[in-house]
Amino acid sequence: MKVLVAGMSNLEHQGQQGVIDSITSLLKKMGVDYQIFTDEVKCWEATLNLGFEDISEKVSKEFKEKAEATGADLIISSFAAGVQKWRTELPNQYGLELGIPYIHVSQFIADEFKKSSPDLAPFPHKYFVQHGCTLGRKMKGFQAIRDVLSYVPEIEVLEEEHPTAELEKMDKAEFNTCPGSWLNFTQPELGDYIKENYVLSVLAPANPDYAGSTCANGHYGIVQGLEIAEIEDIKPLYFTELLDRIWR
């Protein structure tokens, strides 16, 4: 099975080299036949969110053509938006169907771990997971990351608590706070206040050693937020970075 890795150009644009390196390193360690999607339009999914209708169909088609031309059997990405766009928005709005299954990297790793358990070194730390809004709340993709982290010896997984989620018969991750990377991007003047919204209100009170979002975009928000808040005790660590670090 040949795997096409999407979203890497956007990770590069955001300066998330650690995430890029850990994904490729992990895929190698897992023995996956992969190819990086190098000429993908950066952040093309955002055109759909921003209403740039004149180009969103064009860039989506471009993605489809280029992806299908690679001959890949599966596309994976650390960003959830692309997965969702191809699942619902693009088929519904433009009648566009992608000829290749497209899943989030957490799902891919969870599926691979089910086939063959990884040998991971203990990680005796508190790790806070933010469930990205698209992957979590909108696609109900909460379980894959929980499954993946369940293979990590000695890890203590922390999640954002919500006082009424259980009473409302919802997964607590349905209420996960957005770390605000979008707002920071569109209104950078508010960057300072991302720390209030997320870091100081949600992340710091949980007192983790490390924190990461399932979605690379959310993770970018965490990285920025911790930096702005000048918090050094909590280290941003994307789950692929974590796995890569403890892989034996």
Binding stretches for another protein (CB under 8 A): 39, 41-44, 46-53, 55, 59, 62, 133-134, 137-138, 162-164, 167-170, 174-178, 180, 182-183, 186-187, 189-190, 192-194, 196-198, 201
What's the closest the beta carbon of residue 61 comes to another protein, in angstroms? 12
What H or E segment, with its residue span, contains residue 24?
helix 17-29
* Chain centre distance of CA 156: 20
What's the closest the beta carbon of residue 45 comes to another protein, in angstroms? 11
d(CA 136, CA 20): 22
In the sheet that 210-213 helps form, which strands lie side by side, from edge to edge?
Answer: 156-159, 126-130, 210-213, 235-236
**Residues sharing a CB contact under 8 Å with residue 123, sequence separation 6 or more, in sequence order:** 152, 153, 154, 155, 242, 245, 246
Q: Which is nearer to another protein, 92 or 116 (CB)?
A: 92
Neighbours of 239 (CB within 10 A): 25
What's the closest the beta carbon of residue 133 comes to another protein, in angstroms? 4
Q: Which is nearer to another protein, 154 or 168 (CB)?
A: 168
What's the closest the beta carbon of residue 65 comes to another protein, in angstroms? 12
Q: Which is nearer to another protein, 189 or 232 (CB)?
A: 189
The pair of structure tokens assigned to 13 is 């644009």
Q: Which is nearer to another protein, 99 or 163 (CB)?
A: 163
Q: Which is nearer to another protein, 9 or 22 (CB)?
A: 9
Are 78 and 19 in contact, with CB atoms under 8 Å apart?
yes
What's the closest the beta carbon of residue 233 comes to another protein, in angstroms? 22
Query: Which segments of 70-104 does DSSP mark as H helices, in order?
Result: 80-84, 90-94
SS3 content of the chain, % helix, strand, coil (to 5): 55, 15, 35
3-state secondary structure at position 127: strand
3-state secondary structure at position 103: strand
What's the closest the beta carbon of residue 105 comes to another protein, in angstroms? 20
Q: Which is nearer to another protein, 55 or 157 (CB)?
A: 55
What's the closest the beta carbon of residue 103 comes to another protein, in angstroms? 20
Q: Which is nearer to another protein, 21 or 227 (CB)?
A: 227
